[in-house]
């Protein structure tokens, strides 16, 4: 069995821990797996210096705040952290020629541009959502937008747990981009929530709405509201394992690619809608 060594960035976070736990057995059935060799956290994290446990047992892999040592021996990095941390890691990856899977969200335009520049030297796969189902939702949304741009109101609803820090979610923003492209709209047509006397809805408007509460892992719905009918495309995640599995699948894909920028659509071979 071939085993691809990887480093987890954001190892103590919800997604980081889920990915690590799933990685111990991921790919065993088809003979191509991943092997954790490093775990990185920021220097303020109380878990720095502690062992990454596997079912309560020591692994000998200690969480560090030193990027260079965490990446030692890794063929690919899986990053679920913060934009500024991702950019710092990308510089180390460029030096070491290490592939990257980036699940971090909330990048500014300039930060995104820096990642694109790094992709000139290393393969980087970036996606706001690693779920296979969500990426199919992106595809289907684009397909519907191209055919229902006229005569249908376009709306997005994003629901997450109360701890989520960014709003709208990265997935909702990606769905917005898909609608803008498919329906030939611009950012000027987008409204984020509505309040007060808004007047009649402009026909080109795209609404983006955010709900936060409870323990919702992630729900996203795209609505196409027409006269006498409506179409709803919905994805509901009930476990973070779906995102973790997608991230591990992405890591196995990107490590075999040439330098460049990739998405989950490339992993799934979805092409254009």
Angstrom CA distances, 132 to 6, 155, 244, 262, stand at 21, 22, 10, 15
pLDDT at 28 over 70: no
The rounded percent of the chain whose pLDDT value lies above 90 is: 83
pLDDT at 252 over 60: yes
| pTM as predicted | 0.83
Q: Is 164 tagged catalytic?
A: yes
Domains of the chain: 2-126+240-268 (3.40.50.720), 132-237 (3.30.360.10)
Residue-level pLDDT at 227:
96
pLDDT digits (tens, 9 = 90+) for 186-235: 999 999 999 999 999 999 999 999 999 999 999 999 999 999 999 999 99
Q: What is the largest CA-CA distance in the chain?
A: 63
Average pLDDT over residues 161-171: 92
Q: Is 160 tagged catalytic?
A: yes
DSSP state of 205: -
Residue-level pLDDT at 162:
95
Catalytic residue among 82, 160, 220, 235: 160
Query: What are the backbone dihedrals phi and psi of residue 222, each rounded to the nearest 5 degrees, phi first?
Result: -110, 125
């Amino acid at each position: 069995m071939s085993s691809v060594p990887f480093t987890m960035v954001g190892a103590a976070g919800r997604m980081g821990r889920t990915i690590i736990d799933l990685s111990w057995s991921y790919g065993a059935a088809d003979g191509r797996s991943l092997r954790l060799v490093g775990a990185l956290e920021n220097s303020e994290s109380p878990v720095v210096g502690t062992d990454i446990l596997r079912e309560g047992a020591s692994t000998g892999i200690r969480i560090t705040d030193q990027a260079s040592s965490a990446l030692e021996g890794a063929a690919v990095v899986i990053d679920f952290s913060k934009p500024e941390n991702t950019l710092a890691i990308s510089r180390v990856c460029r030096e070491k020629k290490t592939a990257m899977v980036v699940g971090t969200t909330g990048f500014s335009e300039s930060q995104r541009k820096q990642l694109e520049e790094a992709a000139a030297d290393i393969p980087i796969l970036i996606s706001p959502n690693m779920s296979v189902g969500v990426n199919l939702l992106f595809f289907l949304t684009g397909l519907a937008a191209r055919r229902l741009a006229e005569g249908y109101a376009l709306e997005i609803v994003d629901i997450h747990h109360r701890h989520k820090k960014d709003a709208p979610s990265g997935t909702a923003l990606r769905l917005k981009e898909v609608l803008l492209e498919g329906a030939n709209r611009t950012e000027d047509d987008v409204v984020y929530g509505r309040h007060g006397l808004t007047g009649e809805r402009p026909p080109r408007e795209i609404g983006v709405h955010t709900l936060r509460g409870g323990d919702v892992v992630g729900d996203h719905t795209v609505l196409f509201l027409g006269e006498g009918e409506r179409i709803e495309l919905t994805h509901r995640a009930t476990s973070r394992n779906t995102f973790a599995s997608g991230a591990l699948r992405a890591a196995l894909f990107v490590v075999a690619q040439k330098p460049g920028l990739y998405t989950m659509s490339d992993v799934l071979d979805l092409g254009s809608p």
